[in-house]
Chain A
């Protein structure tokens, strides 16, 4: 909370700087604002920027760097024999010291050295925080004074302010690129560490998945197998089931909406269908696990089939429902974009409406429709909550939709939820799976966007 108060203080200072700058500008103009280069507000903004930006940047850097410095100081203050501990034991110890310092319960015996270390750490953090507050406020005040002093009637305050804003805008728009970069790099980095322990061909082509790593060297069954083919097969099966549900319903509703439905019906039904896309996926997961799966199981039993309670069918069907609007909405737009002339031509030849749709509009809109199907598919592949709640955990390599299968996303969640050390093969495997998932969905998206864009250009 400390930093929030500081941010509030800095913003207040900046506001004060704004009014100071304005007043100062009026003063240096000698009562005639028209002699100034810019309007007085810009002088105010100029001062506010000088006051706020450097101090906020300093604060951000401080917040990131300071804990690491404090930790480094903590380690170097520890007794020699503790410093010599292996890295993982040391990090556990450091965690305990930090917990002790913040007054939490600690799992080990507290001896004098530990308590001293904790006190030292706590006071270092306290001093660090206090120093940050003082330095940030000092910089803000200095910036205020500096900018204030610089105000003259010839200062091009507006241009300076506008340049600062455009730098800010460019910085903002690179965040999207940085995000992608961050995703790619973090996934690649962790996946590389995983592939150092498990060869990539074993991961991509191995047929058995049981991600246990040995806690003790002599543990039974602790070797672990990281062959991801069962996960890919499970993902593919659930996606296919989902597409089998969503494609007919989605496409036929899109056709009806764009070609047959009167405008009033369209106005009501289209938003209703889009609700399906707005329902949180955790709700679908709950629906699949509690309503659809038992229903399928009972139906299966009544006709003598043995259905698993976490069948791929239940998860796939519910996922299909979720992606209906992705298909119907985009396909609807695409079919609406087919030029009127094509339609009129077909009608003039005596075709019925359905013949026109089947033989003229649908082929003309096909690229766009394919694009929408690909987007829906990538959505289904990356969907997590439905499968986490309704599909199984057992990595079966099977083609039977009534059995339980597991998916890439389910495994990512199960590998990473809960307390694990960060560098075991088990947790790193999640990043390798994430990399595969990212690569597949990205490819699908790029193809889909490309196809849709090409199609739009054709008729625009």
Chain B
């Protein structure tokens, strides 16, 4: 400021001031442009993130199936001929499919090539056939054409993830396999069908047999425990701090504590869970019970802060009116304040649950990273959760798991969007201006 006053005479010249004004306006425009550019950049990155995931992930929802004509040989399936369910379960269905493949491509000879030929089918293809037979045993002894899953490499080939123009040595799928698939395709025997396995199966080492159901159930159990623990505790402490607590050192301490807990890195909660829940109390490893407890401690601050804000938004006149007609302080809260604050509390809770659903790091600490094929049946069974499943698949070497990972991310994001949309809806629907 001081040096500009020293140059006062220059300032007064009309031509200079016009130039200066131009410069200032240009600076203004530039500044504004930076702001827009920043927002645009952030949104573009968001778009890129979602875009790459959807682009690479949408194919996870379909799976290449091959049409195989197969003779359901009673000698193999039901040698006793009495329709014993045990025999039906144990029969070598994969062998039947292999035989059909041999008949379809009679000129394939030699052990190596035969194994390659069988390899175009998934190891689980026999299970598809078995399901078919178990559903209707009367088809035993007839010729059927059924659709079975292809192996993951063939799936990648059909979906176009494998470049056919590469030299054969650099490709996971060799020339003869491509020839077989092309031959099948020419007969209309190759089709991409909806991938039910992806939504109904647990984890697997074989990409085409791996699904997210196990992880989804694990996530569900974990979130249930989190909700059961953190919602009542969070609401009770919010009510206490907002409505009852005297202003003293102790309540100040609790407040500061809650604010700081909200910003503690999530992995620290994992360490707490490992040292206390597993180390001291001896709870089972990898269990949704412990995962839910750790996540409950983590989401507690979110819920408390949201619930306090919601309680604070209820005008004091409501409380005074209730007290005036003789309600006790607890009655004021339970009959009047809490019902009015409930939508806000629910919104905060849903947002906290969404955070918990996406959390990975603390669950790694308490051993929820194990490879688990079975779908968990309870909160103490070993389980994994969706984000951890994504983490595990992201590390898997098979090409086909990339697409599964993206698919699982899409499912997870869909859940998160759904939960957040619900929160927004609740807020919109019940928001009150006092």
Interface residues of A (CB under 8 A from B): 1, 4, 64, 67-68, 158, 162, 165-166, 168-170, 172-177, 179-180, 182-183, 186-187, 189-190, 248-253, 255-257, 259-260, 269, 272-273, 275-276, 278-287, 289-291, 321, 324, 328, 352-355, 357-358, 375, 378-379, 381-385, 388-389, 409, 412-413, 416-417, 422, 430-431, 434, 437-438, 441-442, 445-446, 449
Contacts and interface: CB of A to CB of B under 8 A. Distances in A.
A352 B394 contact: no
B184 to A, nearest CB: 31
Interface stretch (B123-131, B154-162, B259-267): B259-267
Most buried by B among A252, A255, A409, A438: A252
B97 interface: no
B265 A389 contact: no
Nearest to A414: B364
A321 B45 contact: yes
Q: In the complex, which range does the number of interface residues on chain B fall in? A: 35 or more
B52 A409 contact: no
A100 to B, nearest CB: 16
Interface string B249-266: 000011011111101111
B369 A176 contact: no
Q: What 3 A-B pairs come out closest when comparing CB atoms? A: A382-B265, A256-B35, A280-B358
Contact of A281 (B31, B244, B268, B361): B361
B380 interface: yes
B361 A416 contact: no
Given A173-B241, A175-B233, A290-B402, A445 B394 contact: no
B183 interface: no
Given A283-B390, A354-B32, A417-B364, A166 B24 contact: no
B275 A190 contact: yes
Interface stretch (B163-171, B173-181, B409-417): B409-417
B300 A187 contact: no
B276 interface: yes
Nearest to A385: B360
A426 B84 CA distance: 55
Given A183-B264, A186-B271, A445-B260, A173 B378 contact: no
15 contacts: A175-B237, A175-B300, A176-B301, A183-B269, A282-B390, A283-B390, A283-B413, A287-B49, A355-B28, A381-B265, A384-B266, A385-B387, A389-B394, A409-B267, A437-B267
A280 B265 contact: no
Given A175-B233, A253-B39, A180 B52 contact: no
B239 interface: yes
Contact of A286 (B24, B36, B42, B405): B405
B377 to A, nearest CB: 9
B272 interface: yes
B358 to A, nearest CB: 3
B56 to A, nearest CB: 8
Contacts of B232: 172
A61 B313 CA distance: 39
Nearest to A165: B330
Contacts of B256: 449
Contacts of B254: 173-174, 176-177
B416 A280 contact: yes
A68 B282 contact: yes
Contacts of B48: 291
Most buried by B among A251, A259, A282, A449: A282
B260 A180 contact: yes
B245 A173 contact: yes
A158 B268 CA distance: 42
Contacts of A189: 275
Contact of B259 (A283, A438, A449): A449
A175 B232 CA distance: 12
A334 to B, nearest CB: 16
Contact of B271 (A180, A248, A434): A434
A283 B43 CA distance: 17
Contacts of A172: 232-234, 236-237, 240
B52 A287 contact: yes
Interface string B339-376: 00000000000000011011111001100010000000
Given A286-B394, A416-B274, A384 B236 contact: no
B434 interface: no
B5 to A, nearest CB: 14
Contacts of A248: 38
A249 B233 contact: no
Contacts of A279: 49, 358, 413, 416
Interface string B296-338: 0100110010000000000000000000000011100000000
A162 B332 CA distance: 12
B46 interface: yes
Most buried by A among B241, B268, B330, B380: B268
A175 B298 CA distance: 12
A168 to B, nearest CB: 6
Interface string B6-34: 00000000000000000011011011101
A352 B28 contact: yes
A389 B214 CA distance: 23
Most buried by B among A68, A250, A287, A354: A354
A383 B359 CA distance: 11
Interface string B397-424: 0000010010001001100100010000
A324 to B, nearest CB: 5
Contacts of B36: 256
B394 A378 contact: no
Contacts of A269: 39, 43
B156 to A, nearest CB: 16
A411 B297 CA distance: 23
Contact of A253 (B25, B42, B260, B409): B42
B39 A276 contact: no
Contact of A357 (B31, B265, B328): B31
